[in-house]
Amino acid sequence: MNIDSTLRPHLDALDDRYCEVLALTPHAEAIIRSPGPAHEAGDRFLRAGFVRIPGVVSPAALEALAGELWPILSPLAFAVRVPHTTGPAGTLLGGGRLRRVDTGSLERDGQGDALASVLRAVGLVEFGRLLADRLAPILRHVIGPAVYERMFFNLYDEGDYISPHDDAHMGDRIDVTFPVTLDGVGGLRVLSGGYLETHYDGEGAMSVLGPRVWHEVPPLLRVSPERPPRRLTITMRYV
């Protein structure tokens, strides 16, 4: 694999960043030893189809990993553009704008295999498997016997968003996500009790989103006039 020389420092740092995230936190280790909080999270997930568990990984470690991954993943990402249109009754239909790195969204025996080779070479395939193993003692109480399939990434630049949708076409998938916003304000809004409730990124939180749950990603906003915001979601797909 030909490596852009500007990426070498980021690639060289990845193994350390992976280890820092895989270490989990004392809070997560406590949940593994005494899974009462995991059972409670599982109950919330069954009721609402979504649960957010703070403090699973170190926020600093997650931000450091996102910072190293962004310049590596950015040139690999493909655009996801869904323009808004109006329906027969004049209502505005859903849309959104982001970028994605996902072998599951590309055809095999072509771009999908080529991308898989790159992700394997930089250690992300192995990192996903190891993280799934580390989280299994928690997740089995939350999502039951669902099986880890793959890791993929969404990249959001300033103003990127996804309007409300329920991913019904994806079947019974469950997404376990570690979202990170750098130099901005980002999060996820999930339908609950008739309202889209905001769940901000941060706190080393792990979000678990079930099938056919209405949610949206609000526009990514900046907090500094000097630095554009970036949002990276590290998502583990379970089926």
Domains identified in the chain, total number: 1
Q: What is the pLDDT of residue 222?
A: 94
For residue 49, give Cα distances in angstroms to 80, 143, 168, 181, 239.
Answer: 25, 10, 13, 23, 15
Q: What is the pLDDT of residue 81?
A: 98
Q: What is the pLDDT of residue 63?
A: 98
189 backbone dihedrals φ, ψ, rounded to 5°: -115, 130
Whether 88 maps to a domain, the answer reads: no
Whether 3 maps to a domain, the answer reads: no
* Mean pLDDT, the chain cut into blocks of 10 residues (239 residues total): 83 98 98 98 98 98 98 98 96 97 85 95 98 98 98 98 96 98 97 97 98 98 95 98
Whether 1 maps to a domain, the answer reads: no
Q: What is the pLDDT of residue 159?
A: 98
For residue 164, give Cα distances in angstroms to 81, 133, 213, 218.
Answer: 15, 32, 10, 9
Q: What is the pLDDT of residue 110?
A: 80
Whether 107 maps to a domain, the answer reads: yes
pTM: 0.96
Whether 90 maps to a domain, the answer reads: no
Closest CA to 106 of 115, 97, 98: 115
Whether 64 maps to a domain, the answer reads: yes
CATH number for the domain that contains residue 230: 2.60.120.620
Distance, in Å, from the CA atom of 164 to the CA atom of 88, rounded to the nearest integer, reads: 19
Q: What is the pLDDT of residue 4?
A: 83
Expressed as residue numbers, the domain containing 74 is: 8-83+95-238
Distance, in Å, from the CA atom of 199 to the CA atom of 103, rounded to the nearest integer, reads: 27
3-class secondary structure per residue, the chain: CCCCHHHHHHHHHHHHHHHHHHCCCHHHHHHHHCCHHHHHHHHHHHHHCEEEECCCCCHHHHHHHHHHHHHHHHHHCEEEEECCCECCCCCECCCEEEEEECHHHCCCCCHHHHHHHHHHHCCHHHHHHHHHHHHHHHHCCCCCCCCEEEEEEEEECCCCEEEEECCHHHCCCEEEEEEEEECEECEEEEEECCEEEEEECCCCCEEEECCCCCEEECCCEECCCCCCCEEEEEEEEEC
Whether 26 maps to a domain, the answer reads: yes
Whether 89 maps to a domain, the answer reads: no
